[in-house]
Amino acid sequence: IYADPKDPETVYVLNAPMLKSIDGGKSFSTIAVNHGDQHDLWINPEDPKNMILSNDGGAAITFNGGSSWSSQDNQPTAQFYRVIADDQFPYHIYGGQQDNSTVRIASKTIAGGIGVRDWNSVAGGESAFLAFNNPAHPVLIYGTSIQGFITVQNDKTGTNKDIMARPSVNLGSVPKDQLYRFNWNGPLVHNQLNPAILYHGANKLLRSDNGGFSWTEISPDLTRNDSSKHGTTGVPFTNEAAGGEIYNTISYIASSPHDEKVIWVGTDDGRVQVTRDGGASWTDVGRNVPGVPRGTWVSRVEASNFEEEIAYVTYDGHWLDDTTPYVFKTTDFGSTWENISANIPSNNPGNSVYTIVEDSNNANLLFVGTEFGCFVSIDGGA
């Protein structure tokens, strides 16, 4: 909510649309803007007709009180949840843009630069996890979106097909009435040793052996399954209909590069589970992680490239007003965990950890992504 600095009766409210009242909030009108989902507004204190607006599409400026805005296409603005790369040469980078399409872009070209012709949209939507049928020569590209939607793009034909595990439109539905609960960022990965196998995370882990045309449950509910959290989301204010507040969901999946049957799963309510028999049985190894408050979001699980017993896990506690960096390593399939957060700054405003990646050639080379930067360790996290 933003008050006009010179007129006490004028107020702006940012929501999916941009709203304006000139009678102290008794009535509102909509201001036409370039993109949906408004986030921030600056009003020039000397000239209130001059404003800068930011939203899911970028930023725009007006000098006439919102009657017209500058273009958002003259700046390279995007919010990516994550990126992956294929194994082509040169490799391509893939990711989902908030409130925009997924995108694939070449890392290098034979021309003098990388231009608009070197990128295109692929499968999935804004919150996408992406996966391939063959990372070296991707023909089928799989991508997720909100509420468990999945599509596959055939690069040869340029067509897309819906392969949702249980086709349904869950917008506005109550989680307790849904067959599967999906995270806003519902994870999707291919098996590292057999890319024909796909895994998709709901509250249960789903597997497909035929490119997503059918799915099989290979786990029970792997979350804490707190039924008190499965009512209408967003209340008492409004139903968060798009699915951003659905709870007790799988937040990350990691397939072992050593054994096709070893799969690690993390959840948004703090559980870390592992199976060593392809899903026939599961062990909750998250209970062995020391010092992490119950219910802290598992932001990533990373299966080691070097030893199948080794894995890493990161937690993001900012939803609980806890911005402590949490980074852990196990060398025994999760029976014990070592805190390797080391010297990642933990002072105010804190440094929530979103990801960890182990180098593919050097077991001691680790990369951690946090709210305020990227950190590197050359001694295995010491």
CA dist 102 and 126 (Å) reads 6
Q: What's the token pair of residue 179?
A: 């067959």
Q: Which two tokens stand for residue 318?
A: 């900012």
Secondary structure of the chain as H, E, C letters = CEECCCCCCCEEEECCCEEEECCCCCCCEEECCCCCCEEEEEECCCCCCCEEEEECCEEEEECCCCCCCCCCCCCCCCCEEEEEECCCCCCEEEEEECCCCEEEEECCCCCCCCCHHHEECCCCCCCCCEEECCCCCCCEEEEECHHHCEEEEECCCCEEEECCCCCCCCCCCCHHHCCCCCCCCCCEEECCCCCCCEEEECCCEEEECCCCCCCEECCCCCCCCCHHHCCCCCCCCCCCCCCCCCCCCEEEEEECCCCCCCEEEEECCCCEEEECCCCCCCEECHHHCCCCCCCCEEEEEEECCCCCCCEEEEEECHHHCCCCCEEEEECCCCCCCEECCCCCCCCCCCCCEEEEEECCCCCCCEEEEECCEEEEECCCCC
Instruction: Compute the distance between CA of residue 169 and CA of residue 246 in angstroms, rounded to an integer.
Output: 15
| Of 252, 370, 366, the residue nearest 316 (C-alpha) | 370
CA distance 271 to 22: 50
pLDDT < 50: residue spans in the chain: none
Q: What is the b/e burial string over 121-131, where b = at least 16 CB atoms within 10 angstroms of the residue's CB?
A: bbbbbbbbbbb
Count Cβ atoms below 10 Å from residue 236 Cβ, excluding itself.
Answer: 5
How far is 86 from 106, CA to CA, in rounded Å?
Answer: 10
Closest CA to 261 of 276, 273, 280, 281: 276
Question: How is residue 306 written in tokens?
Answer: 């070097």
Separation of first and last alpha carbons in the chain = 45
pLDDT of residue 169: 82
- Name the one residue in this structure whose structure tokens are 């990128």: 119
Q: What is the pLDDT of residue 51?
A: 98
The residues that bridge with 119 in the sheet, in sequence order, are 105
Q: Amino acid identity of 156?
A: K
Q: What is the pLDDT of residue 77?
A: 79
Q: What is the pLDDT of residues 156-192, one digit of tens each?
A: 998 999 999 998 888 888 999 999 999 999 999 999 9
Give me 228's structure tokens: 């008190």
User: CA-CA distance, 180 to 175, in Å (whole number)?
Assistant: 8
- Compute the distance between CA of residue 189 and CA of residue 303 in angstroms, rounded to an integer: 13
Q: Report whether 212 contacts 150 (CB < 8 A).
A: yes
Model pLDDT, residue 223? 98
